[in-house]
Amino acid sequence: MSGTKIRVTVWNEFVHERELPEIAAVYPDGIHGAIREFLETNEDIEVKTATLDEPNQGLSRDLLENTDVLIWWSHAKQEEVTDENVRLVQSEVQKGMGLIALHSAHYSKIMRQILGTPMTLKWREHDTEKLWCIDPSHFLGWFGGGEVFRSGVTFRRGYGKIFYFQPGHEEQPIYRRPDIQKIITNAVRWAAPVYRVKEFPDNIHAEH
Amino acid sequence: MSGTKIRVTVWNEFVHERELPEIAAVYPDGIHGAIREFLETNEDIEVKTATLDEPNQGLSRDLLENTDVLIWWSHAKQEEVTDENVRLVQSEVQKGMGLIALHSAHYSKIMRQILGTPMTLKWREHDTEKLWCIDPSHFLGWFGGGEVFRSGVTFRRGYGKIFYFQPGHEEQPIYRRPDIQKIITNAVRWAAPVYRVKEFPDNIHAEH
Amino acid sequence: MSGTKIRVTVWNEFVHERELPEIAAVYPDGIHGAIREFLETNEDIEVKTATLDEPNQGLSRDLLENTDVLIWWSHAKQEEVTDENVRLVQSEVQKGMGLIALHSAHYSKIMRQILGTPMTLKWREHDTEKLWCIDPSHFLGWFGGGEVFRSGVTFRRGYGKIFYFQPGHEEQPIYRRPDIQKIITNAVRWAAPVYRVKEFPDNIHAEH
Amino acid sequence: MSGTKIRVTVWNEFVHERELPEIAAVYPDGIHGAIREFLETNEDIEVKTATLDEPNQGLSRDLLENTDVLIWWSHAKQEEVTDENVRLVQSEVQKGMGLIALHSAHYSKIMRQILGTPMTLKWREHDTEKLWCIDPSHFLGWFGGGEVFRSGVTFRRGYGKIFYFQPGHEEQPIYRRPDIQKIITNAVRWAAPVYRVKEFPDNIHAEH
Q: Write out pLDDT tens, residues C145-162.
A: 999 988 999 999 989 999
Overall average pLDDT of the A109-117 stretch: 92
Where chain B has pLDDT below 70, the residues are 1-3, 202-208
Q: For chain C, what percent of residues have pLDDT higher than 90?
A: 79
| Secondary structure (H, E, C), C20-85 | CHHHHHHCCCHHHHHHHHHHCCCCCEEEEEEECCCHHHHCCHHHHHCCCEEEEECCCCHHHCCHHH
Q: Give CA–CA dist C71/C163, Å, rounded.
A: 9
Neighbours, chain D (3 or more CB pairs < 8 A): A, C
The pLDDT tens digits for C38-75 are 999 999 999 999 999 999 999 999 999 999 999 999 99
Q: How many CB pairs under 8 A join C and D?
A: 21
Q: What are phi and psi of B108, to 5 degrees?
A: -65, 155
Q: Which residue of A has its CA nearest to D123?
A: A207
Best interface-test mutation with D: which of C134, C148, C149, C153 has the largest number of D CBs within 10 A? Answer: C148
Partners of C11 in beta bridges: C50, C72
Burial of D24 (0-12, 13-18, 19+ CB in 10 A): middle
**Is there a contact between C120 and B204 if contact means CB atoms under 8 Å apart?**
yes
Residue C95's pLDDT is 93
Q: How do beta strands C98-102 and C69-73 pair?
A: parallel
* Chain A (163-202) residues lying within 8 Å, Cβ to Cβ, of chain D: 200-202
Nearest to B104 by CA among B146, B165, B147: B165
Say if the Cβ atoms of C132 and D140 lie within 8 Å: no
Chain D nearest-CA residue for A158: D117
Query: In this complex, is the C-beta atom of B115 within 8 Å of any C-beta atom belonging to chain C?
Result: yes
Query: Which residues sit opposite B50 in a β-bridge?
Result: B11
- Give this complex's ipTM: 0.84
**D142 to chain C, minimum CA–CA distance in Å?**
7
Question: What's the confidence (pLDDT) of residue B1?
Answer: 44
Distance from CA of C24 to the nearest CA of D (A): 32
Could you write out the three-class secondary structure of chain A? CCCCCEEEEEEECCCHHHHCHHHHHHCCCHHHHHHHHHHCCCCCEEEEEEECCCHHHHCCHHHHHCCCEEEEECCCCHHHCCHHHHHHHHHHHHHCCEEEEEHHHHHCHHHHHHHCCCCCCCCCCCCCEEEEEEECCEEEEEECCCCEEEEEEEEEECCEEEEEECCCCCCCCHHHCHHHHHHHHHHHHHHCCCCCCCCCCCCHHHHC
Euclidean distance between CA atoms D202 and D95, whole angstroms: 9
When mean pLDDT is compared across A121-130, B103-112, B117-126, C176-185, the lowest value belongs to B117-126
CB within 8 Å: B142 and A140: no
pLDDT-derived band at A121, boundaries 50, 70, 90: confident
The answer to whether the CB atoms of B118 and C204 lie below 8 A apart is: yes
Sequence length of chain D is 208
CB contact under 8 A, B120 and C201: yes
Q: Which of A12, A80, A6 is nearest to A43 (CA)?
A: A6
With residues binned 3-state (H G I as helix, E B as strand, rest as coil), the percentages for chain C, rounded to 5, are 40, 25, 35
Instruction: List pLDDT tens digits, range C90-131.
Output: 999 999 999 999 999 999 999 999 998 888 788 888 889 999
Alpha-carbon distance of A189 to A199, in angstroms, equals 23
* Cβ neighbours around A143 below 10 Å, total: 16
Judging contacts by C-beta atoms under 8 Å, the chain D residues touching residue C150 are 134
Helix H or strand E segment including B187: helix B178-191
Rg (CA), chain D: 17
Q: Which of B75, B83, B117, B125 would best serve as a mutation to test chain C binding (most C beta carbons within 10 A)? A: B117
B139: enclosing H helix or E strand: strand B138-143
With CB atoms and an 8 Å threshold, state whether A201 touches D120. Answer: yes
Q: At what angle do helices C178-191 and C30-39 cross, to 10 degrees?
A: 80
How confident is the model at residue C204, as a pLDDT? Answer: 39
Q: Is the peptide bond before A21 cis (omega within 30 degrees of 0)?
A: no
Chain C residues whose beta carbon lies within 8 Å of the beta carbon of residue B108: none
Q: Does B77 touch chain C (CB under 8 A)?
A: no
Of A154, A67, A156, A64, which Cα lies nearest the Cα of A114?
A156
**Is there a contact between C142 and D146 (Cβ–Cβ < 8 Å)?**
yes
Cα–Cα distance, D14 to D27 (Å, whole number): 10
Phi/psi of residue D64, each to 5°? -70, -35
Contact A117 D118 (CB under 8 A): no
Residue A77 forms contact with D (CB below 8 Å):
no
Looking at beta carbons, which residues of chain C come within 8 Å of B204? 107, 118, 120-121
Yes or no, beta carbons of B202 and C158 under 8 Å apart: no
Distances (CA, A) of D65 to A80, A164, D159: 30, 32, 14
pLDDT at C201: 74
B83 touches chain C (CB under 8 A): no
Cross-chain Cβ contact D116/A120 below 8 Å? no
Q: Which of D113, D116, D122 sits opposite A203 (nearest CB)?
A: D122
pLDDT at A3: 56
Q: Does A147 touch chain B (CB under 8 A)?
A: yes
For C121-149, b/e burial (b = at least 16 CB within 10 A) is: beeeeeeeeebbeeeeeebbbbbeeebbb
D55 min Cα distance to partner chain C (Å): 42
- Which residues, including other chains, have CB under 8 Å from residue D152's CB and lie 6 or more apart? D131, D133, D137, D138, D139, D163, D164, D165, D166, D183
Chain A residues lying within 8 Å of D115, measured CB to CB: 116
Average pLDDT over residues D158-171: 94
C142 contacts in chain D (CB < 8 Å): 142, 146-148
A142 and B CB contact within 8 Å: yes
Question: Which of D117, D156, D205 best tests the A interface by mutation, with the highest count of A CBs <10 A?
Answer: D117
Give the nearest chain B residue to C116 (CA atoms).
B116
